[in-house]
Amino acid sequence: MNIDRNAPVGVFDSGIGGLTVAREIMRNLPSEKIVYFGDTARVPYGSKSKDTVLRYSRQIVHFLKNQGVKAIVVACNTASALALGDIKKELDIPIIGVIDAGAKVAAAETKNKKIGVIGTVATIDSGIHERVLKELCPQVQVIGKACPLFCPLVEEGWLHDDVTTKVAERYLEELKVCGIDTLILGCTHYPLIRSTIREVMGENVRLVNPAYETALELRDLLSELDLTGQENAQEEFPYRFYVSDLAEKFTDFANSILPYDVSMTQKIDIEKY
Ligand code: DGL
């Protein structure tokens, strides 16, 4: 199949959280265009079954392919955990998720071989990090902890707040007791409360941000496949945003975290795909 190297990259998430991944792509791959889809009508994915998340993800991939993307980044950790394996087999363009890149860095950097992973209930219950990490480093001990209250706290804007610190202390206590030296922030929202997590875990625990690591993996993948966008192909509006609901709220959030002025988000009917 002939893929246009100047086509946009498709990035999708269950909602706004995947903007942390889009942000890293904007920062680290400035010559790439992006079509972002946030499934704001059906969020959260983290409390849903594999069948449901797979069905949603297939629809979104179909939509993104209709937009002519050259590659897809599943920015959502839950969709990466539950749907990426199946979708990869069905797709004729490159697709990556956010699990592998973070796991690779964590396996390479842990000294005491004790790695913590935090994420949604579905991501942690899937056991995907443990499987990937043990393949990379069989001696590693992986301690997973679901932190479902973090997402609503971030969406409420309580990034630096006593309540968020208290919740973090409670969730992270058992990871501290286990003596992990590396912690994977296995959910799109968590990089936004990184400083709170840092404060609770202390300076000696390495925090791995899969959003950043995935952007670098995308850069390497596009370069390997000769699909890197050319700088001069960059347009005036290189980033397009679509959601399944609440477009204005999405635009406001996007403008609060992106290094780019989002003027408009378009609402689409994802059930049609
Ligand atoms: N984007 C999801 C993830 O990274 C978190 C929000 C949700 O539960 O849908 O797992």
Model confidence at 171, pLDDT cuts 50, 70, 90, reads very high
| 45 and 30 both lie in a single domain | yes
- CB of 44 within 6 A of ligand 1: the answer is yes
- CB of 164 within 6 A of ligand 1: the answer is no
Q: 231 C-alpha vs ligand 1 centroid, how far in Å?
A: 32
- CB of 17 within 6 A of ligand 1: the answer is yes
- Assess whether pLDDT exceeds 80 at residue 234: no
* pLDDT, tens digit (0-9, with 9 covering 90-100), for 26-44: 999 999 999 999 999 999 9
Torsion of CA 117, 122, 123, 128, to 10 degrees: 110
Model confidence at 236, pLDDT cuts 50, 70, 90, reads confident
Please compute the mean of the pLDDT values over residues 218-244 and round it to a whole number.
Answer: 91
Indicate which residue's Cα is closest to atom 1 of ligand 1.
76
Q: 81 C-alpha vs ligand 1 centroid, how far in Å?
A: 11
Number of domains forming the structure of the chain = 2
| 49 and 108 both lie in a single domain | no
pLDDT at 237: 84
| 106 and 177 both lie in a single domain | yes
Average per-residue pLDDT for the chain: 96
- CB of 56 within 6 A of ligand 1: the answer is no
Q: What residue numbers bound the domain in which 55 lies?
A: 9-97+212-272
182 assigned to some structural domain: yes
- CB of 46 within 6 A of ligand 1: the answer is yes
Model confidence at 153, pLDDT cuts 50, 70, 90, reads very high
| 157 and 114 both lie in a single domain | yes
From residue 197, alpha-carbon distances to 19, 113, 123, 165 in Å are: 19, 20, 19, 8
Model confidence at 110, pLDDT cuts 50, 70, 90, reads very high
Indicate which residue's Cα is closest to atom 7 of ligand 1.
44
| 116 and 190 both lie in a single domain | yes
Give me the CATH number covering residue 70: 3.40.50.1860
Q: 80 C-alpha vs ligand 1 centroid, how far in Å?
A: 10
Pick from 191, 210, 229: which residue ends a domain?
210
| 15 and 145 both lie in a single domain | no
Tell me the whole-structure pTM to 2 decimals.
0.96
Pick from 161, 184, 210: which residue ends a domain?
210
pLDDT at 54: 98
1 assigned to some structural domain: no
CA 189/CA 39 separation, integer angstroms = 15
| 45 and 177 both lie in a single domain | no
| 132 and 59 both lie in a single domain | no
| 198 and 111 both lie in a single domain | yes
Tokens 């679509």, residue?
242
| 140 and 218 both lie in a single domain | no
